[in-house]
Amino acid sequence: MHIHILGICGTFMGGIAVLAKQAGHRVTGCDANVYPPMSTQLEAQGIELIEGFAPEQTKLNPDIYVIGNVVSRGNPLMEEILNRGLPYISGPQWLAENVLQGKWVLAVAGTHGKTTTSSMLAWILECAGLAPGFLIGGVPENFGVSARLPQTPVQDTKSVSPFFVIEADEYDTAFFDKRSKFVHYRPRTAVLNNLEFDHADIFEDLSAIEKQFHHLVRTVPQQGLVVANGKEASLQRVIDKGCWTPVEKFGTDADWQAANAYGDGSFDVLYQGKPQGRVAWCLLGEHNRMNALATIAAARHAGVAIATSIAALTEFKNVKRRMELRGVENQISVYDDFAHHPTAIETTVAGLRAKVGKARILAVLEPRSNTMKLGVMKSALPASLQQADLVFCYQANLGWDAKEALAPIAGKTQVHDDLQQLIDAIVSQAKAGDQVLVMSNGGFGGIHQKLLDALKSNASIF
């Protein structure tokens, strides 16, 4: 079958392209901006990419068009598809019908930590010899790819693994299907990591998101498992709406707990109050401990011994763009992180603070998510950046005044709408021993390498 993907360079749709290619389909695709690294990854898979959405692409005559949620009415190619009555389907529905059907799906949902938790869970199943498939909104360093089909387990070479781990996003499916993506996945094991207000461009309030999470819970079978963050009142409200599935909770006073958090990041795992072992890793912060508990519980439901999960997490290498050290120049470290929601920003800064102690943290922020661009959470930004020593904000394409929003921390904050001026300002303030933490859910104009190059050539920092 030949499928043509509209919006192929997004992480999710790019993952679908990889899975379709692995399944033996001919895959082509288009997007408004075709550029590395996604373009090079897809081309390496033998996937033909076209820049733009010209109606002439219908001459490719694919069997079906797979539509990403970046595509809206008015898109010239989409209008041609509609006018000619050509077959089309959303990405999540195509995935459900062609990859997930008949699989034991382990879905990880939540406002924060989906990518990291999905990566942990896939790695645990891999270490247990279960050879899972997965589709993750990032690149787990243990695998080096964001998506793959289930493999043949070493211990059972006659059959393909039934397990598939998916990052389950609550964002809407497509312009013609406004349900959350995750309602298509029908998991047997559902992880509910946390739940806060986000995606202000499509949800009116937290209650609207809770309703979508309840739709997900309603799809989990009686013989399945819901693994839920016991510290989140919002998730309890979701479960209280109706749940026909066993629930295991992680966090304080829950089935699964983290105890004795040590300075090196390691911690002890408790199940129903009984010690199970120690996760010895270098990841820091309570959020990572909570992610780990969720994955141990989910993996146990899939038949993985707790000790096996703990051993696997000890070898977990995290995900690209999650506190990823991009380089060190003149004793100044530059990190890249995907944080863009105030809660994630606060957690990320706190994690780095725990790691570097009293060293100065220079937080560099690009508020570019749809929610941040709308300014819905701008008032929460100052508090989220309290542990940073200096703050640099890039306010290009914002519909609100970042300087005004950050006024409570004005004494340590600079706001710029020119990328080069922002880089120059950071370099002028940086000193040996500083930790520069860049936070954005986009490419940020390649600022990481530009910063490293500028720091390298700036001898004045000594």
> Does residue 83 sit within a domain?
yes
99-113, 220-234, 404-418, 445-459: segment of lowest average pLDDT: 445-459
> Does residue 319 sit within a domain?
no
* Whether residue 111 sits in one domain with residue 48: no
SS3 state at 344: helix
Write the CATH number for 381: 3.90.190.20
> Does residue 31 sit within a domain?
yes
* Whether residue 403 sits in one domain with residue 290: no
State the pLDDT at residue 35. 67
Q: Does residue 272 come out as left (phi exceeding 0), alpha (psi in the -120 to 50 range) or beta? A: left
* Whether residue 345 sits in one domain with residue 214: no
- Between strands 26-31 and 48-51, the pairing is parallel
User: Pick from 93, 123, 138: which residue ends a domain?
Assistant: 93
216 vs 180: CA distance, rounded Å: 9
8-state DSSP, 418: S
What is the per-residue pLDDT across 61-75, written as a single tens digit (0 to 9) for each?
Answer: 999 999 999 999 999
> Does residue 207 sit within a domain?
yes
Cα atoms in the Cβ-side hemisphere of radius 13 Å centred on 324: 20
Residue 396 or 151, more confident? 151
* Whether residue 270 sits in one domain with residue 232: yes
* Whether residue 297 sits in one domain with residue 363: no
State the pLDDT at residue 261. 81
76 vs 53: CA distance, rounded Å: 6
What is the per-residue pLDDT across 125-181, written as a single tens digit (0 to 9) for each?
Answer: 999 999 999 999 878 888 888 899 999 987 777 789 999 999 998 889 999 999 999
Which domain, by its residues, includes 69? Answer: 2-93
Share of the chain above pLDDT 90, in %: 57
What is the per-residue pLDDT across 317-333, written as a single tens digit (0 to 9) for each?
Answer: 876 667 788 889 888 99
In the predicted model, is pLDDT for residue 461 greater than 70? no
In the predicted model, is pLDDT for residue 300 greater than 90? yes
In the predicted model, is pLDDT for residue 99 greater than 70? yes
CB 136 within 8 A of CB 119: yes
Confidence band for 459, pLDDT divided at 50, 70 and 90: low
Sequence-distant (6+) residues with CB within 8 A of 88 are 64, 65, 66, 67, 81
* Whether residue 107 sits in one domain with residue 223: yes
* Whether residue 60 sits in one domain with residue 175: no
Mean pLDDT of the chain: 89
> Does residue 266 sit within a domain?
yes
* Whether residue 156 sits in one domain with residue 191: yes
What is the per-residue pLDDT across 22-40, written as a single tens digit (0 to 9) for each?
Answer: 999 999 999 998 766 677 7
SS3 state at 279: strand
If one counts the domains in the chain, the total is 3
State the pLDDT at residue 460. 52
State the pLDDT at residue 371. 67
Q: What is the mean pLDDT of residues 437-448?
A: 84
User: Pick from 62, 93, 124: which residue ends a domain?
Assistant: 93
* Whether residue 86 sits in one domain with residue 108: no
Residue 347 or 245, more confident? 245
Locate the DSSP E strands across 243-389: 247-250, 256-259, 267-271, 274-279, 324-329, 332-337, 361-365
* Whether residue 308 sits in one domain with residue 342: no
Write the CATH number for 201: 3.40.1190.10
User: Pick from 314, 344, 367: which residue ends a domain?
Assistant: 314
* Whether residue 118 sits in one domain with residue 12: no
* Whether residue 339 sits in one domain with residue 257: no
